[in-house]
Amino acid sequence: MSIKTTLTLMMVASLAINVVACKKSDPAGTAPDSSGATIGTPPVAAAPAAGEVTSYPGQVNMGSITRQTLQSFTVKQGADNNSNTIGHVSVGTWINIKASYSNWFLIEFPTGVGQLSPGWIELRGGVSDPRLGTSPAPTTTTTTTAPVVVVDAGAPPPPPADAGTRVRPGIVIKPRH
């Protein structure tokens, strides 16, 4: 047998021995059920597949809150400092906050042109953390149009509104005909 096959068989045997020992020595009824989950203990987060992030049973979904980073952040695969680092968010990056778990927040951050990826960042102050800027308020612009003045091309132009009140010594203003 190869070393790989031998190691695999040893791991399976060790797992089987642990399951049998757990059932025999666990009078409280917290032995694993048929699905492998332990009865009587709180659920734990499932290990994510490659390229995915951890989800937690107690995480609170928040819809999508958009914020701009005022500081750089390290993006983790799970809500834990020991979790794998999957990216970084630099200052000025717009992120979408999707969910929270303890003081960790599931975000979507840009990882390419038109591409957003999920990840976890730690925010001790929640969505109002001082390291995040608020999303800009929608701007409304109002435009005003000047009134249209119709002028007869054959008529002389009207005198300026202040022609009679403005006095400048040495300057003579002659009307056009």
State the pLDDT at residue 152: 67
Helix H or strand E segment including 115: strand 115-122
Name the pLDDT band for 124 (thresholds 50, 70, 90).
confident
| Tokens standing for residue 66 | 């958009």
Element (H, E) at 65: strand 60-69
pLDDT in the model for residue 49: 65
Contacts of 104 (CB under 8 A, 6+ apart): 76, 79, 80, 120, 121, 122, 123
Q: Which CATH number fits domain 49-138: 2.40.128, 1.10.260, 1.20.120, 2.30.30?
A: 2.30.30
Residue tagged 């000047």 (tokens): 146
Q: Is the pLDDT of residue 19 over 50?
A: no
165-174 pLDDT tens trace: 555 566 677 7
CA 123 to chain centroid, in Å, comes to: 12
pLDDT top residue among 27 and 86: 86
pLDDT band at 100 (very low <50, low <70, confident <90, very high): very high
What whole-number distance in Å separates Cα of residue 162 and Cα of residue 99? 66
Compute the mean pLDDT over every residue in the chain, rounded to the nearest whole number. 74
Average pLDDT over every residue of 142-148: 67
Distance CA 96, CA 139 (A): 20
CA 93, CA 2: separation in Å to the nearest integer? 50
pLDDT at residue 166 in the model: 57
In the three-class reduction of DSSP (H, G, I as helix; E, B as strand; rest coil), residue 20 is classed as helix
Binned at pLDDT 50, 70 and 90, residue 147 comes out as: confident
Q: Is the pLDDT of residue 30 over 60?
A: no
Q: Report pLDDT for 137.
A: 57
Every domain of the chain and the residues it spans: 1-41, 49-138
The yes-or-no verdict on residue 99 having pLDDT over 70 is yes
pLDDT at 6: 54
Mean pLDDT for the stretch of residues 139-146: 63
pTM greater than 0.85: no
- pLDDT value of position 61: 93
